[in-house]
């Protein structure tokens, strides 16, 4: 009887462990890691944010480099604390974003990235993010932007002298790399060692050049005769930095103007005719052309600086407690 009682207690204990063990694990996985005023940050939130920003699960990151993991965890937790403080301010100020505004923001994102709705869904799926979660993130971004606009942006002034100084001190950032836009007709030689074939191919190439100079369309001729890359696109090869070209071709192109066509160029595997579609010399973009871009750079720098200072001030007034 005594043995039966002990066995019953053991079975009951095992049953209890099976019932409550998952709950204990859930509590450990989702325990509170920080308190921010009346709100909390859980380990689940922290781990999700780490994965979102680094692409790695916390466990993977820890295994790769524990020291880096601890540093990353601290930085991400600081970021989450700042977000909690900012969103508390958003609620306090009554900032709201409508579903229609979220839709418009998503449409702008799709348009700027040339995505269809299907493309966007596929990319989110690849990142293991649901469309509903994505909409919620867009909503948070829009709320944050309005907060920044109200608290920070409205106080920013960028002077013309600052823009000009930035241009003068950072001309290397606005340098123009020499580029050429080329199209080609390539006549392939089956046997490069066959002199008779070379002569016949050269005559064919010279006849094509003659016809082109008489005004026939290069693209049409490329589609008809070219056996090289870009033939179906009228011989269009796209843009090249001049540094990418072989020295012999570069030498030929130097004396050419836009629209000019080379004489037949004998290559190892055939004969090439090249048309210079566009030529862009190296140099520095004029100030007027880059002024707005510089303004945006300085504006963003000032926003980041002021936002950091503003959120730091709010954080000093907030009650925060890190629990690790």
Does residue 293 belong to any structural domain of this protein?
Answer: no
Residue 186 structure tokens: 């390539």
Does residue 113 belong to any structural domain of this protein?
Answer: yes
Q: Return all residues near 114 (Cβ < 8 A) that are at least 6 apart.
A: none
pLDDT at site 311: 87
CA distance 91 to 42: 20
CA distance 176 to 195: 44
Does residue 168 belong to any structural domain of this protein?
Answer: no
Q: Are residues 182 and 249 in the same domain?
A: yes
Q: Are residues 104 and 201 in the same domain?
A: no
CA distance 227 to 211: 18
Does residue 290 belong to any structural domain of this protein?
Answer: no
Number of domains in the chain: 2
Q: Are residues 192 and 139 in the same domain?
A: no
CA distance 180 to 211: 24
Q: Are residues 75 and 121 in the same domain?
A: yes
CA distance 103 to 97: 11
Q: Are residues 16 and 103 in the same domain?
A: yes
Q: Are residues 202 and 146 in the same domain?
A: no
pLDDT at site 111: 79
H or E segment at 316? helix 287-317
pLDDT at site 264: 92
Place of tokens 């026939």: 216
pLDDT at site 112: 66
Place of tokens 């003068």: 168
- Backbone torsions φ then ψ of 155, nearest 5 degrees: -100, 5
**Residue 11: which CATH number?**
1.10.4030.10
Q: Are residues 247 and 185 in the same domain?
A: yes
Task: Calculate Rg over the CA atoms of the chain.
Answer: 33
Place of tokens 């692409």: 55
Q: Return all residues near 21 (Cβ < 8 A) that are at least 6 apart.
A: none
Does residue 202 belong to any structural domain of this protein?
Answer: yes
C-beta of residue 176 within 8 angstroms of C-beta of residue 283: yes
Q: Are residues 144 and 102 in the same domain?
A: yes
- Bridge partners, 175 (sequence order): 284
Residue 85 structure tokens: 């403080």
Instruction: For 132-156, give the DSSP string.
Output: HHHHHHHHHHHHHHHHHHHHTGGG-
Does residue 161 belong to any structural domain of this protein?
Answer: no
Does residue 164 belong to any structural domain of this protein?
Answer: no
Q: Are residues 10 and 126 in the same domain?
A: yes
**Residue 213: which CATH number?**
3.10.50.40
Q: Which domain holds residue 56?
A: 6-153+310-322
pLDDT at site 249: 86
Does residue 171 belong to any structural domain of this protein?
Answer: no
Q: What does each of the 324 residues of the chain score in pLDDT, given as a tens digit? A: 444 444 444 434 434 443 344 444 444 557 899 999 999 999 998 988 888 888 888 888 889 888 998 999 999 999 999 989 988 888 888 999 999 999 998 998 887 677 889 989 998 888 878 899 899 989 988 888 788 878 776 678 899 999 999 999 998 888 777 888 999 999 998 888 888 888 999 999 999 999 999 999 999 999 999 998 888 889 999 888 888 888 888 888 888 889 999 999 988 889 999 999 998 877 888 999 889 889 988 988 888 888 888 888 888 998 989 887
Residue 279 structure tokens: 């030529």
CA distance 122 to 129: 10
Q: Are residues 127 and 49 in the same domain?
A: yes
Q: Are residues 144 and 44 in the same domain?
A: yes
Q: Are residues 267 and 317 in the same domain?
A: no
């Amino acid at each position: 009887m005594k043995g039966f009682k002990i066995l019953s207690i053991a079975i009951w204990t095992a049953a209890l462990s099976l019932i409550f063990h998952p709950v204990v694990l859930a509590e450990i996985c989702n325990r509170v890691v920080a308190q921010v005023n009346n709100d909390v940050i859980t380990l689940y939130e922290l781990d999700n944010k780490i994965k979102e920003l680094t692409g790695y699960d916390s466990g993977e990151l820890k295994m790769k480099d524990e020291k880096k993991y601890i540093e990353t965890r601290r930085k991400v937790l600081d970021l989450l604390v700042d977000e909690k403080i900012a969103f508390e301010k958003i609620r306090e100020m009554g900032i709201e974003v409508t579903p229609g505004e979220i839709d418009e923001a998503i449409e702008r994102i799709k348009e700027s990235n040339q995505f269809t709705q299907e493309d966007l869904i596929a990319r989110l799926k690849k990142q293991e993010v649901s469309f509903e979660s994505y909409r919620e993130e867009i909503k948070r971004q829009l709320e944050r932007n309005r907060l920044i606009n109200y608290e920070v942006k409205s106080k920013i002034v960028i002077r013309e002298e600052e823009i000009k100084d930035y241009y003068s001190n950072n001309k290397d950032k606005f340098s123009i790399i020499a580029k050429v836009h080329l199209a080609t007709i390539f006549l392939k030689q089956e046997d490069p060692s066959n002199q008779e074939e070379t002569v016949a191919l050269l005559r064919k190439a010279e006849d094509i050049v003659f016809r082109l100079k008489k005004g026939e369309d290069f693209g049409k001729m490329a589609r008809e005769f070219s056996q090289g890359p870009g033939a179906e696109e009228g011989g269009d090869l796209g843009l090249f930095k001049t540094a990418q070209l072989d020295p012999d071709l570069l030498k030929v192109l130097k004396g050419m103007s836009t629209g000019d066509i080379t004489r037949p160029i004998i290559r190892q595997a055939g004969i090439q005719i090249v048309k210079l579609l566009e030529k862009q010399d190296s140099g520095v973009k004029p100030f007027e052309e880059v002024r707005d871009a510089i303004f945006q750079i300085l504006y963003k720098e000032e926003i980041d600086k002021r936002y950091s200072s503003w959120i730091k001030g709010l954080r000093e007034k907030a009650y925060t407690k890190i629990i690790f």
